[in-house]
Amino acid sequence: MALLQIQEPGAKPPQREQKFAVGIDLGTTNSLVATKVGSVVETLPSDDGEDLLQSIVHYGDDGIKVGREARDFLVKDNKNTVVSVKRLLGKSQSEIREFGYYLPYKFDAQLPDGDPAIITRHGSIRPIQVSAEILSVLRKRAENFSDKEIDGAVITVPAYFNDAQRQQTKDAAELAGLKVLRLLNEPTAAAVAYGLDAGAEGNVIVFDLGGGTFDVSLLSLRGGVFQVLATGGDTNLGGDDIDRLLQEWLRRKEGLLSDIDDKAVTTLNLLATSLKHRLSFEESVEYAFDSFTGVITRDELKGLCKTPLKRMTSVCRKVLRDAQLEISDIKEVVMVGGSTRMPAVRETVADFFGISPLVSFDPDKVVAIGAGIQAEVLVGNRSSDEGLLLDVIPLSLGLETMGNLVEKIIPRNTTIPVTRAQEFTTYKDGQTALSIHVVQGERELVSDCRSLGRFELRGIPPMVAGVAKVRVSFQVDADGLLSVSAEEVSTGVKAEIAVKPSYGLQASVVEEMLKSSRENAIKDMESRSLSEARVDAERLMEVVKAALLEDAGLIDPKEKSLIENKCELLTNLLRVGTSAEIKQATEDLNLVTVSFANLRMDAQIAKTLHGESIDSIVSE
């Protein structure tokens, strides 16, 4: 017998206990944590009243310091003080050396290239560990505010972070003792805060320029549904790059030698950062460095930034093109990230889109607030009906097929989470294993795309080529992380891989891949057509040659000679012929072997039925 809960008439239903969830903006320059305070989500301050935690970690003799305390060691102990660690996530040592700017750190040469561990007085420290120190401080800040343990956290990442960078962000959070509810794209987090608060409708550009990364997302906001139509960006473009341009200008201006010591470089960089910040509020600023003094104006700074500003508008143009929209289709532009305070950036955006960007939100806090709102939804404190979030993948995902061809399984800009599957088959008779090569990119040939991982499916029953059915499934979760599985349908034999590359793909490379795919579209289609023609031709010749070895006695010498001549012609065309020529020669070989194939089939049937009575066949 079922028991019913009894409630007094007019009594309020019991309130479900609210879980404690947080949103964290793990930034290149500054990091923040946000949670629900009263009826709204707000960023949480430190004991000193500062919401921003500087993303700096110092490994000292007396322990580890994070934030403002660590900043004091940038000049006097820069080799043990790590800044902008977000730029190191998911990258190899060789990729880091290609950044094109000075880093004071020494990397552990004893480790493989894919492991960019920094040598400190605390030993070899990996970027994940540095990030975890920052996240730990934010976790403690939140727990001190609530006196409760955190039930779950939403961590933000740049939209163009690849699998390796996303996975390392997630690993860092777990190392810091956080349960990750979701990795959320930073521009999308800003749109959550902006859209839910303002009730916007239409196409919105989220222009996110932080200290070390730049992202642009084009979102369609309709009835509380946030759908990312297209994304673009550069994980090596941000306020740090403008600091370096300003530092180089100061060195040229004052005739400073290129071989100044590490402490002078760090001091000069701090000066450049200070000048940039002040020029956001003043038309001109005086400076002093050692015995040098001078003045820099806001217009001079804008002139120095021509190249990065051009790169920013180029990304905006690409995003519009990907979404097949015009500038006139954009209703609003939301500015996110501390670097968008620069007048030069705001003026460039206004000129490009023809509308004044929205700057009513604190650009440093809006990402964390959006993450906090999403955390409230995911932890169950508020209905998911209040805002549905639909992200997309930035590059197509697929696998290698015969002939070095790419078969795209999930096209770029597909909404995630998503699962797609496709059936493939074996190439040779008796094949019992299948090698699966997962790739990422827009080109038609594997050699022009990026390899994500490889695995093998073994245990396929030996069958005639083309009979086995192997179902390959691609799954991209809400965090943008990919897993691939393969299953032989008849036996259920299965193999799978979680794609976790050891180092990352820079957004500049992503942009180059997209540009290359557009410029080489016609050439790629011809290359694909040629490869497909060669695969079909080679497969047919392999079957024909095997048949001639086994059953040449079924045909007369003249017919055999004709078939061999056609095979020889096709072999020559495989080296120098076009796809059309190879396809025609393949069809010709097919036609001259029809009679031979029929004779072989008749012979096989006769062999199978030899010695059987009609009665036994009928009874079966």
The Cα–Cα gap between 79 and 619 comes to 87
Beta pairing partners, 54: 30
Which residue in the list 25, 171, 322, 487 is annotated as catalytic?
25
Query: Quick check: is 25 catalytic?
Result: yes
Query: Quick check: is 208 catalytic?
Result: yes
Query: Quick check: is 186 catalytic?
Result: yes
Which residue in the list 51, 163, 208, 215 is annotated as catalytic?
208
Among residues 509, 512, 497, 378, the alpha carbon closest in space to that of 436 is found at 497
The Cα–Cα gap between 420 and 94 comes to 35
- The residue behind tokens 């007094």 is 8
Instruction: State the SS3 of 209-263.
Output: ECCCCEEEEEEEEECCEEEEEEEEEECCCCHHHHHHHHHHHHHHHHCCCCCCCHH
Burial of 412 (0-12, 13-18, 19+ CB in 10 A): buried
Phi, psi of 155 (to 5 degrees): -110, 135
Which residue in the list 186, 322, 479, 488 is annotated as catalytic?
186
Which residue in the list 86, 170, 318, 408 is annotated as catalytic?
86
The Cα–Cα gap between 77 and 262 comes to 10
Cβ neighbours of residue 296 under 8 Å, at least 6 residues apart?
A: 246, 249, 275, 279, 284, 285, 287
Q: Which long-range contacts (CB under 8 A, 24 or more apart) does 550-556 make?
A: 551/596, 551/599, 551/600, 551/603, 554/596, 554/599, 554/600, 554/603, 555/595, 555/596, 555/599
The Cα–Cα gap between 120 and 81 comes to 9
Confirm if 506 and 518 have CB atoms less than 8 A apart.
no
Cβ neighbours of residue 398 under 8 Å, at least 6 residues apart?
A: 406, 407, 408, 409, 410, 438, 439, 440, 449
The residues annotated with a catalytic role in the active site are: 25, 86, 186, 208
